[in-house]
Chain A
Amino acid sequence: DGGITQSPKYLFRKEGQNVTLSCEQNLNHDAMYWYRQDPGQGLRLIYYSQIVNDFQKGDIAEGYSVSREKKESFPLTVTSAQKNPTAFYLCASSMLAGVYEQYFGPGTRLTVT
């Protein structure tokens, strides 16, 4: 059953701690993405990766880091430098070329107190 998974669904951390959000896909997609969604707002691109071992900053990369060591995996680390980390985080994947849509995971709700 092909799809994209994110874990955990809810995550709680203390301020000052780094936290890593998991994203895995078995769709053989080249591209993977991380978005942040704040209440009642749209999706803002944090990082995206077109190919293994390469990634580009999106519009709000400050305070976040990523890695793409495997095609299937694109973990996101929310560092202590991120000023307002509490948000809903969505991971997505897609084929890189052509009019292919992004497939989204179920999301991770991160709360930092």
Chain B
Amino acid sequence: AQTVTQSQPEMSVQEAETVTLSCTYDTSESDYYLFWYKQPPSRQMILVIRQEAYKQQNATENRFSVNFQKAAKSFSLKISDSQLGDAAMYFCAYRSGQGTNAGKSTFGDGTTLTVKP
């Protein structure tokens, strides 16, 4: 079974600074996808960034980027120039891409990010 671990229950960052959220996963599958989602106080889940496992290049989406280390099974999220609106709970998610498990998703326990003005 796949597992996703977020080792930082809470993080804080000063506005305009950079913060990195950690995520590690465990799988024996070769075909999978990784995602970071954001859940603000409204509880609506919002996609932040996505990464295909077969792509070596790290995904970037404006101020958000990932450091994908496939051999180490690590998928950290870097938020640059942090803004007050970035305050939320962030979830790392794994989705299987192969066989009978295709589409099955596993989420980490989340990291609550506080942004200080």
Contacts and interface: CB of A to CB of B under 8 A. Distances in A.
A50 B107 contact: no
> Chain A contact residues (Cβ within 8 angstroms of B): what range?
20 to 34
Contacts of B22: none
Contacts of A99: 33, 50-52
Nearest to B100: A56
Contact of A45 (B43, B44, B106): B106
A17 interface: no
Given A42-B109, A97-B97, A99-B50, A104 B45 contact: yes
A31 interface: yes
A44 B35 CA distance: 16
A33 interface: yes
Contacts of A41: 109-110
A27 interface: no
A43 B91 contact: yes
Chain B's interface size range is: 20 to 34
Given A41-B109, A42-B91, A101 B103 contact: no
Given A41-B110, A99-B33, A99-B51, A106 B105 contact: no
A58 interface: yes
A52 interface: no
B110 to A, nearest CB: 5
A94 interface: yes
Interface string B20-54: 00000000000001010100000111010011100
A51 B52 CA distance: 23
A45 B104 contact: yes
8 contacts: A30-B103, A41-B110, A42-B108, A44-B107, A90-B45, A99-B50, A101-B37, A102-B93
Closest 10 CB pairs of A and B: A104-B45, A42-B109, A101-B47, A43-B107, A31-B103, A42-B107, A99-B52, A99-B33, A42-B110, A96-B103
